[in-house]
């Protein structure tokens, strides 16, 4: 059935910021400047209704930074997450397999450094909030856009200046601003013809849910850089942790298919083994560490021992390929890209989703100011402001993450020493 959808005035971000008006202490679910804007969300998947939280933890988790948590709480989603489950961590220990060089990250007053939340929990919290603002935001599940019609670059008399979208079922919509939040294989980005710099790492990530040998406080995130790639243990509860192990495609495939016992052994040995050490590096490292300790006797603090793993949740082992991607442009007239559609990053720094939340925060801020200035939301003048702000931030992070990944992908001694120096420099800041 072909039908002309109702004209909508804008296709906007689903996450809006709270009003900063101090006379209104109650949190707004949406930004007041978007009050009379109409928003449509096209979701390819089905509606995820979580009647009851399952006892088994999901194997896909994200590390949510405090900034992202603030964004989520600004429109009430964080409250739902708190009512379900999440795990705060206060410390992060990162160390090198070859040299035992170590950084311990924590906040001085032992504030939470971040939160480990299952992706399903986040999605459910967001769905709940979407329902709460359903008078303002329309969500179409199981819908996919098959064709986009872009506006003319020059304003022409009879052609519509808006973006037209045709869905799989034939319905069409027109909008002033199209936001592409459709992942690293973004259809919006491809249809707009935006160049994407991307390459695949010759690595895959294996995720699993692990049971620890004994219950601990479990508020530390662990990451060890092996020559094959980093392995990370993220706390989920007192007895459970989530594994993210980036390694070569072959090794990843082996890990996923091997026995559960062998898998647990592999994980434990990855965290505990000294096999990659060489005497030279050990001695050199120890001497330099001592020297620096004399000059700056802080921060190279006591090494904690990571927990050991007892067993793995059945059927929780999954692998997915890794790559890097960065869109050359985040915006075009009436189009903006956010999240993985704009950038894709290695999980070693736990930054992927946080960069996406940062994009949302920035775009919402720019659109809110534009709306309060009576601007057409699809106008390039404020979209380029968003692009500049986020590209600067994301490019630096992407480059750093990529560099770290390459640096730690080798066990050659000189490079190991170099990265040890890097860690020491980092730690002394």
Partner 1 sequence: MWGGGKLGSSGGWFLRVLGPGGRNTKAVRPLISSVYVKNQLSWILQIKPGVFNEYRTMWFKSYRTTFSCLNRIKSFRYRWARLYSTSQTTVDSGEVKTFLALAHKWWDEQGIYAPLHSMNDLRVPFIRDNLLKTIPNHQPGKPLFGMKILDVGCGGGLLTEPLGRLGASVIGIDPVDENIKTAQCHKSFDPVLDKRIEYRVCSLEEIVEETAETFDAVVASEVVEHVIDLETFLQCCCQVLKPSGSLFITTINKTQLSYALGIVFSEQIAAIVPKGTHTWEKFVSPETLESILESNGLSVQTVVGMLYNPFSGYWHWSENTSLNYAAHAVKSGVQEHPMSAEFAFKGEAEELQANACTNPAVHEELKK
With binding defined as CB under 8 A, does residue 170 bind partner 1?
A: no
Q: Which is nearer to partner 1, 223 or 368 (CB)?
A: 368
Give least dist CB 128 to partner 1, A: 23
With binding defined as CB under 8 A, does residue 9 bind partner 1?
A: yes
With binding defined as CB under 8 A, does residue 202 bind partner 1?
A: no
Interface with partner 1 by CB under 8 A: which range of 257-265, 281-289, 365-373, 416-424?
Answer: 365-373
With binding defined as CB under 8 A, does residue 20 bind partner 1?
A: no
With binding defined as CB under 8 A, does residue 375 bind partner 1?
A: yes
Give least dist CB 289 to partner 1, A: 49
The residue count for binding partner 1 (CB under 8 A) is 23
Interface with partner 1 by CB under 8 A: which range of 29-37, 121-129, 142-150, 246-254?
Answer: 29-37
Whose tokens are 């986009």? That residue is 148
Of 5, 32, 249, 289, the one binding partner 1 by CB under 8 A: 32
Interface with partner 1 by CB under 8 A: which range of 42-50, 84-92, 141-149, 155-163?
Answer: 155-163
In 3D, which of 275, 267, 272 has the Cα closest to residue 309? 267
Q: Give the other-Cβ count within 10 Å of 423's Cβ.
A: 19
With binding defined as CB under 8 A, does residue 34 bind partner 1?
A: yes
Can you read off the two tokens belonging to residue 56? 């088994």
Which residues lie closer than 8 Å to 29 by C-beta, 6 or more apart?
16, 75, 76, 129, 132, 133
Give least dist CB 298 to partner 1, A: 44
Give least dist CB 166 to partner 1, A: 18
Interface with partner 1 by CB under 8 A: which range of 50-58, 90-98, 140-148, 368-376?
Answer: 368-376
Contacts with partner 1, residue ranges (CB under 8 A): 7, 9, 32-37, 154-155, 157, 160-162, 371-376, 379-381
């Amino acid at each position: 059935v072909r039908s002309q959808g109702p004209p909508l005035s804008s296709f906007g971000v689903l996450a809006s910021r709270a009003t900063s008006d101090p006379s209104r202490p109650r949190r707004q679910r949406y930004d007041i400047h978007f009050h009379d804007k109409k928003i449509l969300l096209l979701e390819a998947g089905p509606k995820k209704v979580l009647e009851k939280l399952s006892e088994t933890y999901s194997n896909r988790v994200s590390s949510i930074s405090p900034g992202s948590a603030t964004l989520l709480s600004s429109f009430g989603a964080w409250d739902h997450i708190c009512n379900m489950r999440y795990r705060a961590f206060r410390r992060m220990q990162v160390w090198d397999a070859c040299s035992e060089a170590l950084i311990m990250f924590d906040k001085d007053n032992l504030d939470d450094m971040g939160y480990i939340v299952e992706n399903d929990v986040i999605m459910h919290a967001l769905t709940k909030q979407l329902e709460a603002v359903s008078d303002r935001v329309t969500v179409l599940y199981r819908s996919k856009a098959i064709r986009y019609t872009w506006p003319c670059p020059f304003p022409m008399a009879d052609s519509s200046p808006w973006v037209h979208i045709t869905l799989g079922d034939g319905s069409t919509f027109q909008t002033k601003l199209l936001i592409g939040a459709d992942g690293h294989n973004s259809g919006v980005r491809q249809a707009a013809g935006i160049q994407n710099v991307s390459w695949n790492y010759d690595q895959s990530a294996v995720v699993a849910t692990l049971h620890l040998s004994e219950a601990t406080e479990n508020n530390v995130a662990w990451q060890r850089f092996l020559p094959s790639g980093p392995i990370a243990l993220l706390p989920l509860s007192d007895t459970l942790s989530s594994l993210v192990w980036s390694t070569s495609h072959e090794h990843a495939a082996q890990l996923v298919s091997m026995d559960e016992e062998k898998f647990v052994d592999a994980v434990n040995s990855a965290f505990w083994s000294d096999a990659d050490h060489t005497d030279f590096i050990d001695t050199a490292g120890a001497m330099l560490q001592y020297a620096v300790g004399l000059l700056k006797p802080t921060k190279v603090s006591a090494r904690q021992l990571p927990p050991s793993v007892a067993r793995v949740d059945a059927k929780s082992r999954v692998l997915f390929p890794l790559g890097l991607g960065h869109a050359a442009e985040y915006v075009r007239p009436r189009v903006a890209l956010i999240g993985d559609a704009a950038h894709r990053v290695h999980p070693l720094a736990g930054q992927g989703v946080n960069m996406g939340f940062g994009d949302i925060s920035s775009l919402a801020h720019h659109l809110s100011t534009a709306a309060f200035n009576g601007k057409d939301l699809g106008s390039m003048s404020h979209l380029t402001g968003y692009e500049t702000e986020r590209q600067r931030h994301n490019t630096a992070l992407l480059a750093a993450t990529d560099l770290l990944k390459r640096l730690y992908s080798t066990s050659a001694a000189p490079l190991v020493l170099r990265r040890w120096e890097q860690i020491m420099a980092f730690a002394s800041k």
